[in-house]
Amino acid sequence: MCGVCGCGEGHSHSHDHDHEHPHDHEHHDHDHHHDHDAEHAHAPGLSQKRMVQIEQDILAKNNRYAAENRSYFGERGMLVLNLVSSPGSGKTTLLTETIVRLKEDLDITVIEGDQQTTRDAERIRATGVPALQINTGKGCHLDAHRVGHALETLQPKNHSLLFIENVGNLVCPSAFDLGEAHKVVILSVTEGEDKPIKYPDMFHAADLMILNKTDLLPYLDFDTEQCIQYAKQVNPRIKILSLSAKTGEGMDSWLRWLKAELELQRIDYA
Amino acid sequence: MTNLFGTNLHLPEGYMAGIAMHEMSLCESILQVLEQQAEAQQYSRVKTVWLEIGALASVETEALRFSFDVVVQGSLAEHAQLEIIEVPGQAWCMPCGCNVVVQQLYDLCPHCGSHQLQVNSGDQMRIKELEVE
């Protein structure tokens, strides 16, 4: 049972675990509880069909947790970015290269989302900043509830920078708000310029697109102008940066963007 | 409720696992709402669920139907019927200054060809009403 969200009473954990037997057992107990409640309401004379108006957003629960996370971040003046991309776009390399350049000046923490393994969190920790790995198991995205629990463990500092590296997936994470200031979508030039229109939801949800691995452009038929045009077609407000995390080319603009965004979060509004 | 992602779950061939998992977790959220409402609204069975799904909501309705049947097994909504009300996508075209119908997020304005469109309807995923007993 969790003090913040009372999650011990719900089903929200059930899809997060690798269903070991002891866990299954525990959840069956919860299930009985629900069934019992349902039976309890089944009083004689009430078993007539009727209509009930619900009018509730399917993602309302996630959105409530996201709102809690957002106020947590706001109170602490933190900049929180949700990094999304397909697998292999170079998110983790971009992160480690970013951290190496900023860690002397800023407090940084990282939440790593992957279906399995703690490899990415280990790569981040090797740079010397705290990182927490969340394994989603068969789940395809991080949700705001799990991020909330990660914050309890990580205890990020005031005015710090938190990167949430989402599961490599250009589909599902677009629908799940984590409470971040911005979604940043990373697209590597090896993936093809048509990704923004093939996976429009993600590019629509992002505020910044990073075109990564530009050092490989001489070897590819990647049409940068066309890619930018597609991205703006899906999302006229999107900002785009081109860089190579490997060679460092273009990293300066990204670091300046990060510092400027963090500065905005530090402003105390009335 | 049984283990939703148990080893006995087999998705039909042709389903992209990632996308079906997305609809699966949406169905888990739906079931949570149905269970939460059961006490407050005094019902013990859900017979029909009406969902409002926008054309721009990135939901595959066939995958949603499949996932729903799996997720509600053994719950108060077992065998419940799923009715999906599809809502067309709509966006505000800035150059035209009016609402236009869009099928996809990358559509251009059908009148002026601009991509300066702001989606204002059709991205919703809502539980609208229930038939219960």
- Please check whether residue B52 touches A, CB under 8 A: no
DSSP string, A68-98: HHHHHHHHTT-EEEEEEE-TTSSHHHHHHHH
pLDDT at A224: 97
Give mean pLDDT, residues A108-121. Answer: 93
pLDDT at A6: 53
Our CA dihedral for A216, A221, A222, A223, rounded to 10 degrees, sits at: 140
pLDDT at A13: 36
Contacts of A7 in chain B (CB under 8 A): none
Question: What residues 156-195 of chain A have any CB closer than 8 A to a CB of chain B?
Answer: 169, 171-172, 174-175
Best residue in A58, A65, A193 for a mutation probing chain B (most B CBs within 10 Å): A58
Report the length, in residues, of chain A: 270
User: Can you read off the two tokens belonging to residue A97?
Assistant: 């290269």
Our CA dihedral for A66, A70, A76, A79, rounded to 10 degrees, sits at: 100
Q: Do A24 and B28 touch (CB under 8 A)?
A: no
The answer to whether A167 and A92 are in contact (CB under 8 A) is no
Helix axes B61-71, B17-41, angle to 10 degrees: 60
Give mean pLDDT, residues A114-141. Answer: 91
User: Can you read off the two tokens belonging to residue B130?
Assistant: 């229930």
Contacts of A233 in chain B (CB under 8 A): 106, 108, 115
How many residue contacts between A and B have a Cβ separation below 8 Å? 156
User: Can you read off the two tokens belonging to residue A111?
Assistant: 């939440």
Q: Do A11 and B37 touch (CB under 8 A)?
A: no
Tell me the pLDDT of chain B (133 aa) as tens digits. Answer: 333 444 444 444 434 444 467 788 889 889 999 999 999 899 999 999 999 999 998 888 888 999 999 999 999 999 999 999 999 999 999 999 999 999 998 899 999 999 999 999 999 999 999 999 9
User: Can you read off the two tokens belonging to residue B109?
Assistant: 């304005």
Q: Given a cut of 60, is residue A119 above it in pLDDT?
A: yes
pLDDT at A137: 82
* Rounded distance between C-alpha atoms, residue B34 and residue B75, angstroms: 10
pLDDT at A241: 98
In terms of Cβ atoms closer than 10 Å to its own Cβ (0-12, 13-18, 19+), residue A188 is buried
Q: Do B132 and A49 touch (CB under 8 A)?
A: yes
What does DSSP assign to residue A216? Answer: G
- Please check whether residue A234 touches B, CB under 8 A: yes
pLDDT at A136: 86
Contacts of B124 in chain A (CB under 8 A): 57
pLDDT at B77: 96
C-alpha A118: how far from chain center: 17
pLDDT tens per residue across span A57-107: 998 889 999 999 999 999 999 999 999 999 999 999 999 999 999 999 999
* Helices of type H across chain B: 17-41, 61-71
Q: What are phi and psi of A239, to 5 degrees?
A: -100, 145
* Rounded distance between C-alpha atoms, residue A208 and residue A260, angstroms: 14
- Please check whether residue B5 touches A, CB under 8 A: yes
Q: What are phi and psi of A171, to 5 degrees?
A: -110, -75
Give mean pLDDT, residues A9-17. Answer: 37
- Please check whether residue B111 touches A, CB under 8 A: no
* Rounded distance between C-alpha atoms, residue B56 and residue A205, angstroms: 12
Chain A closest-CA separation from residue B59 CA (Å): 10
C-alpha A200: how far from chain center: 17
Chain A closest-CA separation from residue B80 CA (Å): 13
Chain B closest-CA separation from residue A15 CA (Å): 7
Mean pLDDT of chain A: 86
Name the more confident of A19 and A226: A226
Q: What are phi and psi of A24, to 5 degrees?
A: -55, -40
β partners of residue A51: B131
Element (H, E) at A16: none
Ranked by mean pLDDT, the top range of A1-5, A125-129, A172-176, B120-124 is: A125-129
pLDDT category at A171 given cuts 50, 70, 90 is confident
Nearest to A49 among B33, B47, B119 (CB): B47
pLDDT tens per residue across span A193-221: 999 999 999 999 999 999 999 999 999 99
A173 to chain B: closest CA residue: B22
pLDDT category at A7 given cuts 50, 70, 90 is low
Best residue in A5, A37, A54 for a mutation probing chain B (most B CBs within 10 Å): A54
